[in-house]
Structure 1
């Protein structure tokens, strides 16, 4: 799983190994374990995109809940 942000740092793109269209729940935690974002979205072509413009700079942990697993990825917002 790879993550990358666009040049304006408002979108977080997460590549996952799921190539089929699937509904997922994404929960973003700050380093204190507080939920800062919780949303349902679709994985399309192995990728999902989150709007993170309102989040403060820092390190977060993304938990991606699929139908049969939970993927965890650490991300840094600059």
Structure 2
């Protein structure tokens, strides 16, 4: 791999990505519209599978890490098996 020419960089990035942990808890949540910060953090730190806009807020089907579940608990609509 070469930092000068870039040779091997795509392979390195792919190898790193393969070793990163994946979010493993599936949830459906409705986040109130005034909590856009939380929706943004789900896009950044989780895996958003679907988004829908409902009367009560933004409904998301997400996969998150276990450490995020407690923060999302007040907004959970339907827990889904991981």
Bigger CA radius of gyration:
2
Higher relative contact order (CA 8 A, sep 6+): 2
Structure holding more strand per residue:
1
Question: Do both share a fold (TM > 0.5)?
Answer: no
TM-score, scaled relative to structure 2 = 0.30
Structure holding more helix per residue:
2
